[in-house]
Amino acid sequence: MVGKSISEVSRQELTRCACDALAAVGKKPSIGLVREWTIATTGAKKGSDGDVQKDINGWFEDLLKLKRDSAIDGLPDAVGSLARDFWRLAVDCAGDALASERAALEVDKTAADRLVDQAHANTRAAEELAKALTSQLDIAHVTIAGRDETIRRLEDALTEARATLTAKDERLNGISDELARTARQYAAGLIELDGARKHSLLQIDQARGESRHWKAEFERVDHENRTTLETSTARKPPF
C-alpha cells in the first residue's frame, strides 16, 4: 500500500495486509479481526463479508503454497500450522455445506417429481372421465331424441284419435251406447298418453340436469388438475 491513497487500495490488498499484520502478532485472520484492523488502520471498510472471506481464504492458500514450496525461509511453524488447520476446516465446512445443499436439492427434486407425476395421473384420470362423460352425454342425447320422437308419434296418434272420434261422433250420432263406450276407451287412451308424455318430459328434464351436472364436474376437475400441474412445474428446481 506504499505510495497509494486509501481509495486506490483494492479490497484484496487491504485484506492481505490485515492478514499479514494479524499473523505477525500470532492471531488467526478472520472476518471480524480483518474488519477491526482495516478500520483501525485506514478508517475504511471495503467489500462484503463474503468477499473478505474469499480474500482471507486466498491468503491462506498462498501461505500454504509458499510453505510447501519453501519459498519463504524461516516461516514460523505456528503460522503454518494455523494456516493448515484453518484450510482443513474451511474445506470440511465447504464439503458439509455442499453435501447438505445437494441432499436438500434431491429432496426438493423428489417431491417435485412426485407432484408432477400426480398431476399427470390426475390429468389422465380427468381425460378418462371426460371420455366417459362424453359417452354418457351422447347416450343421453340419443335417448332424448328417441323420446322426442315417441312424444311426436303419440301426439300424432292423439290427433288422429281425436279426428276419428269426431268422425265417429258425426256418423254415429244415433248410437249413443256405442259412442259412449268408444268415448270412454279413447278418454282412457288420452289419459294414458298424457301420463306417458308427462313421464317422458320428466325423464328428459332429469337427463338434461344430469348432463349439466357432469359437465360442471368435469370443468371443476379439469381446472383443479391444471392448477396442480402448473404449481408443481413452477416448484420443480432447474437442472
Most trustworthy range by pLDDT among 41-50, 52-61, 174-183, 199-208: 52-61
Give the residue, 122 or 88, on which the prediction is more confident: 122
Residue 165 pLDDT level (bands cut at 50, 70, 90): low
C-alpha to C-alpha distance for 66 and 132, rounded to whole angstroms: 77
pLDDT of residue 218: 92
Distance of CA 218 to the CA centre of its chain: 19
How many H-runs (helices) and E-runs (strands) does the chain carry? 5, 0
- 64-105 pLDDT, tens digit per residue, is 887 666 544 555 666 656 656 666 665 565 555 545 655 665
Interval 176-197 mean pLDDT: 86
- 94-112 pLDDT, tens digit per residue, is 555 545 655 665 676 687 6
pLDDT of residue 98: 44
* Sequence-ordered list of residues with C-beta below 8 angstroms from that of 64, at least 6 positions apart, any chain: 80, 83, 84, 87
pLDDT of residue 118: 87
pLDDT of residue 182: 85
Ordered by start, the domain boundaries in the chain are 6-75, 107-235
Say which residue the cell 292423439 belongs to: 158
Q: What percent of the chain has pLDDT over 70?
A: 76
What is the CATH architecture assignment of 107-235?
A: Orthogonal Bundle (1.10)
- 25-36 pLDDT, tens digit per residue, is 889 999 999 999
Query: 117 exposed, middle or buried (CB, 10 Å; 0-12, 13-18, 19+)?
Result: exposed
pLDDT of residue 22: 93
| Average pLDDT of the residues of the chain | 80
User: Is this structure's pTM higher than 0.95?
Assistant: no
